[in-house]
Amino acid sequence: MASRDEDAMGHRLFRMADADLRDQIELLEAHIEDLAETIERCRKLILVSKVAMAAGAILLAAVTLGAFASSPLPLILAITGILGGVVVLGSNTTTADAARADLKAAEARRAELIGMIELQVVGGRFGLH
């Protein structure tokens, strides 16, 4: 547990342990923000991949029903949309799941570190000490 000293004028001085804890908390908070951004980016890419798969499926159905003349391009686009969407969906789902697990661990560690800081009531206009 962190401890305090007082200087010659009675001001409370915090030992380095509290400063180190605060630095660690600050680093964790930056990491938490990065993880939240990663999760949001993955969410957007997952949405785009679902749209690509749906568009590919619609295009494939149109090709199957003969909506396009004998051009192979619509079939290639349909298959590319479906397969590309599956790959992007799987990759970003995995990344988002890992980021959520890391986020949960980082938040728990931050709470643990905050609990280790020796908190004090600071006097103010109500005269609390």
Reported as a single tens digit per residue, the pLDDT across 29-70 is 999 999 999 999 999 999 999 999 999 999 999 999 988 888
Residue 32 lies in a domain: yes
pLDDT digits (tens, 9 = 90+) for 17-29: 677 889 999 999 9
User: Is residue 65 assigned to a domain?
Assistant: yes
Q: What mean pLDDT is reported for the chain?
A: 86
Q: Distances from the Cα of 100 to the Cαs of 9, 33, 103, in angstroms? A: 48, 12, 5
Distance CA 29, CA 22 (A): 10
Q: Does residue 97 form part of some domain?
A: yes
Any domain includes 9: no
Residue at 128 is within a domain: no
Report which of 93, 4, 3, 6 is spatially closest to residue 42, judged by C-alpha positions.
93
Tokens representing 32 are 């938490």
Q: Confidence class of residue 125 from pLDDT cuts 50, 70 and 90?
A: low
CA distances (Å), 45 to each of 3, 33, 42, 99, in order?
48, 19, 5, 15
Count of domains observed in the chain: 1
The domain containing residue 26 runs over which residues?
Answer: 14-115
Q: Is residue 120 one of the residues assigned to a domain?
A: no
